[in-house]
Chains A and B, each alone.
Chain A
Amino acid sequence: AAEGAAKDEL
């Protein structure tokens, strides 16, 4: 996973 994972946090 890791690199480029979507940013779905606040």
Chain B
Amino acid sequence: MNIFRFVGDMSHLASFFLLLAKLIYTKSSTGVSLKTQALYLTVFVCRYLDLLVAFVSWYNELMKIFFIAASAYIVYVVATSTRNSNASDTYRVEFLVIPALVLACFVNETHWSKGGWSLNVMEILWAFSIYLEAVAVLPQLKMLHQLEDTTNITMHYMASLGIYRAFYLLNWVYRLYYEGYWHPIAVVAGIVQTLLYADFFILYYQSVLLRLPS
């Protein structure tokens, strides 16, 4: 594992702790998009089905289990939050889920000549999870644009997700050059996903960094 991948993963991990800290210490899910969190849970469950059939490393296994468990817990907390004033969580997620699923059925890494049907279904779900992750942040972005007083911690959460994506891009450049490793589906979707965060970082710069006490 190279340093870019590791920094990316740690930033991803930090994003979970930031969001959990916000939910637990402020006892409020205001400004957190339940739709985005439910999409992330879907992403992790679909992608990490290989937990059952492929062992890569303890690092990977534990991170996967943590991502699934933490996002399930976050969805539970946000969904059951009584003081949930998320009327602005209005993104039509079917416009994300259905195209991602259709695309995954046609553009994936299945090899029907090899492997059984279950492995190929896993490949379709893997591609679906990649496409869905690329756009899963959109409901959260829409909320950020609509809410005036977004708490800083939600913004830091988004920033750590953006850093995670940026370092994964660097990781892929490194791996393509030194290892010949490359998954075009993941790379193209990853570039799209990272570009979506560019919009967020403009907002972050304007609303958080410019307001920081000196």
Q: Which residues of A contact B (CB under 8 A)?
A: 1-10
* Interface of chain B, main secondary structure: helix
9 residue pairs, one from A and one from B, having the closest CB atoms: A1-B180, A8-B56, A5-B181, A10-B63, A2-B182, A1-B181, A10-B9, A2-B180, A8-B60
Instruction: For A3, give the chain B residue with the smallest CB separation.
Output: B109
What is the interface size of chain B, counting residues whose CB is below 8 A from a CB of the partner? 22
Instruction: For B56, give the chain A residue with the smallest CB separation.
Output: A8
Contact of A9 among B5, B54, B67 (CB under 8 A): B5
Q: Which residues of B contact A (CB under 8 A)?
A: 5, 9, 12, 50, 54, 56-57, 60, 63-64, 67, 109, 111, 126, 168, 171, 179-183, 186
Instruction: For A10, give the chain B residue with the smallest CB separation.
Output: B63
Instruction: For B48, give the chain A residue with the smallest CB separation.
Output: A10
Which residues of B lie under 8 Å from residue A2 when comparing CB positions? 180-182
Which residues of A lie under 8 Å from residue B109 when comparing CB positions? 3-4
